[in-house]
Every structure is written in C-alpha cells, then in structure tokens.
Amino acid sequence: QVQLVESGGGLVQAGGSLRLSCAASGRDFSRYTMGWFRQAPGKEREFVAVISWSNGSTAYADSVKGRFTLSRDNYKNTVYLQMNTLKPEDTGVYYCAADYRRDTNWNYQSAYAYWGQGTQVTVAS
C-alpha cells in the first residue's frame, strides 16, 4: 500500500504564498507519478498539477500556470507544491494523488490509485 499525507495548508491573504507537502509511505516512490487536485466549495475536484515518475517533467492547469510550481524529493519521499500569488479562487481542499508509472491521462482523477486526505487552503479576498 501507498499512503499519502498532505500538509501546509492554511489561511492566507490574496497575493500570498503557501507551500504544500505530500509525504508518501511505501516503496518505489520514485516510480510513481504524483498529481495534485483541488476541490472548491460546491464544485467538482479538478486537476492542478502533475510531476512525472520518469524524468521529473511537470504539467499544470491553465488556471495555476506561472503561479504554482511542483517539485519532488525522491530521497525524502515527498512532493511539494509551491503556490504563489494566490487568488480567492484558489480556495479549496488540495489532494495529493499517486499512480505507479503513469504516463497518460494524468489530468483525470480516475488515473490515480492512491489519494491523501486533503489539506485546506483558504485565500481571503
């Protein structure tokens, strides 16, 4: 089994920054594609960002591109989501997700086998 635990959420003012972490427990962390999704109040869960298992390449939703940065530290079994210039519309519960050697369809919830419990991000207007 792979267990994921998110942390780093909180309340910030618009324009501020937060750094979310996702700590993974399990073997072969470096072989897992790691994604971030978020769910705003009253809305469906949506794709935010993903980082490859193979070469560390990243992809982002248009809504966060240029403001958010994904990285991973395979020695610490941890991925980080640096969120800058936060907007009220970034508010929601942020979820970390993992799937073994996933190369396709990484922007869909159904592609991921493992999920964390989520961490709340609130951006005040």
Neighbours of 125 (CB within 10 A): 8
Range list of H helices, the chain: none
pLDDT of 55: 84
Q: Is 97 helix (H, G, I), strand (E, B) or coil?
A: strand
pLDDT in tens, 51-84: 999 888 999 999 999 999 999 999 999 999 999 9
| Diameter of the chain measured on Cα atoms | 41
* Whole-angstrom distance, CA of residue 103 vs CA of residue 2: 18
